[in-house]
Every structure is written in C-alpha cells, then in structure tokens.
C-alpha cells in the first residue's frame, strides 16, 4: 500500500505482512530471548540519546525494530500478541521521534504511518487469530493517537492524513473496541 506525499512526490511504502499461519513455530524461550534483546537494544538507544549520541541511538533503534519485526514472524505473534505488537509499535514510534530530532521529517512520518497501516491490515484479516486481532485493536488506538498528535503539532501531512482515512475494518467477534 502506498500513500502519496504531494509535497515531495514520494510514496510511503508499507511493508508487507508475513502471515503468521504459514511459518514455523518459535519456541517460548526464543520469544522471551527476542523480547529481552529488543528491550536491551531499546534501552541502549535511549541511553545513547540521553548522552547526545544521536547516530548511535538511531542505529540501536533500527536494530530494535529489526528484532521486533522477527517477533511478527512464526508463532511468536500468536503466543504473545500484545508483547510482539507493542515492540513493533514502540520501535516505529521511537524511530519516528529520533528522525524528528534529526530533522528528517519524511522518515519520521514513515515510522508513524507504517505501524498504523500494518495494524489495520491485521485487524481486518479474518485469517488472523482472534487474540491477535484483539491485541491489534488495542495498539491501533496508540498509533492513531500518535498520528493525530503529529497533525496537531505540525499541521497537514498528506501521508498521515491518508493512513488515517483508510477505513477501519469491521471488528468481527472483537467486541466494542473501535477507536473512532
């Protein structure tokens, strides 16, 4: 899915979702190991950021995102949906904040749009387990709030407006957890 940015004629590319149904199971210790690694990388990035080492912080945040993306593969997402989705969303939002601090606003916007679009796709995919879709709706509230906060702070942003206007899927079997 691509969202045009009319100011610079670029497209925000949303990475494809790998279906958790088709991949090999990941053991619970491996999931815990990945989550622990994600936490270490995130804390390392935060420490670098506090110390004014912005490039080291950026590199650590990128590695944390890569680790979070591995949690979206295999059975990790099915076993610990809230933790896996939280790692992914937090990683993207940390990168957005870091890029914003570096004055790289296009990249900052990308990292707000990508998790929101991914969560929308997950929420609407009836092949995804109910527990994952429920967790997805909880995290969608956060990604939406971050996108709206950007608009309040910086004004109109075509890519963010586009991702916010993607229709939310119907929450079959989820209950009343819509965020509109």
- pLDDT given at position 129: 92
Sorting pLDDT into bands at 50, 70 and 90, what band is 8? very low
How many whole angstroms separate alpha carbon 45 and alpha carbon 47?
Answer: 5
Higher pLDDT, 9 or 63: 63
CATH number of 27-164: 1.25.40
| DSSP single-letter state for residue 32 | H
Place of tokens 């796709």: 121
**What average pLDDT does range 49-56 have in this prediction?**
95
Angle (nearest 5°) at CA 39 between 145 and 60: 85
How many whole angstroms separate alpha carbon 170 and alpha carbon 72?
Answer: 22
- pLDDT given at position 170: 66
- pLDDT given at position 27: 64
How many whole angstroms separate alpha carbon 54 and alpha carbon 71?
Answer: 26
Report in angstroms the alpha-carbon separations of 180 from 142, 144, 167: 12, 10, 10
What is the residue-averaged pLDDT of the chain? 83
Sorting pLDDT into bands at 50, 70 and 90, what band is 154? very high
Question: Which string of b and e fits 54-69 if b means at least 16 CB within 10 Å?
Answer: eeebbbbbbbbbebbb
**Sign of the dihedral defined by the CA atoms of residues 34, 119, 89, 86, in that order:** negative
Residues near 14 by beta carbon (within 8 Å), at least 6 away in sequence: 1, 2, 3, 113, 114, 117, 118
Place of tokens 């088709």: 22
Residue 109 above 50 pLDDT?
A: yes
**Are 141 and 178 spatial neighbours (Cβ–Cβ below 8 Å)?**
no
Is pTM beyond 0.85? Reply is no
Q: Where are the domains of the chain?
A: 27-164
Higher pLDDT, 73 or 60: 60
DSSP H/E element including 2: strand 2-5
Residues near 136 by beta carbon (within 8 Å), at least 6 away in sequence: 81, 85, 119, 122, 123, 128
Percentage above 70 pLDDT, the chain: 78
Residue 20 above 70 pLDDT?
A: no
């Amino acid at each position: 899915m691509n969202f045009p940015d009319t100011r610079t004629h670029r497209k925000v590319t949303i990475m494809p979702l790998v279906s958790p149904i088709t991949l090999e199971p990941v053991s619970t210790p491996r999931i815990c190991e990945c989550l622990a690694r994600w936490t270490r990388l995130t804390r390392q990035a935060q420490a670098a950021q506090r110390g004014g080492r912005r490039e080291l912080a950026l590199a650590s945040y990128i590695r944390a995102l890569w680790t979070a993306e591995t949690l979206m593969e295999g059975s990790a997402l099915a076993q610990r949906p809230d933790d896996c989705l939280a790692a992914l969303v937090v990683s993207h939002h940390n990168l957005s904040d870091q890029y914003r601090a570096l004055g790289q606003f296009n990249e900052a916007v990308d990292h707000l749009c990508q998790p929101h679009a991914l969560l929308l796709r997950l929420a609407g995919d009836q092949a995804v387990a109910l527990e994952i879709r429920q967790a997805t709706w909880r995290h969608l509230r956060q990604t939406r709030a971050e996108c709206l906060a950007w608009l309040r702070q910086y004004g109109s942003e075509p890519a963010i407006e586009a991702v916010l206007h993607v229709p939310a899927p119907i929450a079959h079997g989820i209950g009343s957890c819509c965020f509109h």
